[in-house]
Structure 1
């Protein structure tokens, strides 16, 4: 890993909540000020109010010279994506900072170009693996990022499916012990992954049949129907059925 990139991201996280110290407006008047010409009058002589926005902000922790040079040059979004995933997988990073890094990553993959860069950057494998992480919040963010990356993006849909992403995603959705929030986020990712992409929808049906073990409720509902990814009503029905099943399992 590029250590300087990791340090830069950690610095960004540590200082993301740094704000100027609160100061109260002060009006300064000086009776001892020496007379001066009108074009050189001092603020003290005019009773100017000093607002908090004029105060010098609290200085964040300093970066070393190499990182400052990198910052001045501007790390690419691809480098930031790689750094974010490495921070998330760093066992020494706190959960709070991992989630901040994940949030930044999710915003980056909203861009079509960045989402399509997941493959050349080798990030699909670690992202998919994070859907099976022991920490529930990590699993939720992983599914969220998948849903964002594949939404209305045929290239990302293809790569996600080719990398074996549907199986762990459906597993998260159908797992009884999984949190309700995580399962719903998995449905969101499933919906994004299958719309207008026939191979993913067919893989979804296969995975659901495997999990349900021939359950008549599912098999009978769409028996005899052609499952077509461009049929938005059908996709909505399947996702709606999944959400209903999740809600019922939570109540049970």
Structure 2
């Protein structure tokens, strides 16, 4: 059975942060990554936490409150700041990373996120975060931008062809969505 690499990292952290034999603390202590303890004690992985967050965000269960969805969005956003995490979950937020953008496109995420943005029954904060995710999915990735503008045209919003490498042009699309969603 292969050993979890986080356990090796926990051992390294322990050695680097131990006091000298005379009790003198190390010059600098580094914070302990919670995933290292999760490896030791069997807590959920970051991938499992991301999946749980997305389940809450997309839940249509009336018992999942808006506050719970916003907390889940915040937790998810913090987890995907690590691009390794973003790449592990194919249909989740993409942080302007080509591998993640490709997977998000393949999982048909663009139309789904546009639905959230244009849903006037959805909370403004949720719509704002959805615009952020769409922006990350389309910047510097032409196939996603083409699908985005195509989906918006189907819904009556025209932008024509937008160069995904032109940040000003992408901003025009995202700012128009902010105005539509009432988040600007």
Taking structure 1 as the reference length, the TM-score comes to: 0.47
Q: Matched residues in 2 for 1:80 and 1:99: separation?
A: 18
Given that residues 124 and 181 in structure 2 are in contact (C-alpha distance below 8 angstroms), is that contact kept between their aligned partners in structure 1? yes
**Runs of 5+ in structure 2 lacking a partner?**
1-36
Aligned to 1:230: 165
1:176 is displaced (CA, Å) by: 2.3
Given that residues 85 and 102 in structure 1 are in contact (C-alpha distance below 8 angstroms), is that contact kept between their aligned partners in structure 2? no
Q: Does 1:188 align with 2:111?
A: no
1:97 is displaced (CA, Å) by: 7.3
What whole-Å deviation, never above 9, does each CA across 1:146-179 have from its counterpart, x for those lacking one?
Answer: 2xxx123111011011001011100111122222
User: Residue 110 and residue 210 in structure 1: after superposition, are their counterparts in 2 closer, same or farther (change >3 A)?
Assistant: same
- 1:229 alignment partner, SS class: coil
Q: Does 1:240 align with 2:175?
A: yes
What whole-Å deviation, never above 9, does each CA across 1:172-209 have from its counterpart, x for those lacking one?
Answer: 11122222222222211111110000001000011101
Given that residues 174 and 211 in structure 1 are in contact (C-alpha distance below 8 angstroms), is that contact kept between their aligned partners in structure 2? no
Q: Matched residues in 1 for 2:178 and 2:149: separation?
A: 15
- 1:243 alignment partner, SS class: helix
Q: Matched residues in 1 for 2:111 and 2:39: separation?
A: 42
**Runs of 5+ in structure 1 lacking a partner?**
1-69, 128-145, 213-217
Q: Matches of residues 4-153 of structure 1 in structure 2 within 5 Å?
A: 71=38, 73=40, 79-83=45-49, 85-86=51-52, 89=55, 103-119=74-90, 124=91, 146=93, 150-153=94-97
Within the candidate set 110, 118, 128, 1:166 is matched to 110
1:231 is displaced (CA, Å) by: 0.7
- 1:177 alignment partner, SS class: coil
> Which has the greater radius of gyration?
1
Taking structure 2 as the reference length, the TM-score comes to: 0.62
Aligned to 1:40: none
- 2:96 alignment partner, SS class: coil
Q: How many residues align?
A: 142
Q: Root-mean-square deviation (CA), in Å?
A: 3.4
1:74 is displaced (CA, Å) by: 5.7
What whole-Å deviation, never above 9, does each CA across 1:10-36 have from its counterpart, x for those lacking one?
Answer: xxxxxxxxxxxxxxxxxxxxxxxxxxx
Q: Matched residues in 2 for 1:193 and 1:107: separation?
A: 17
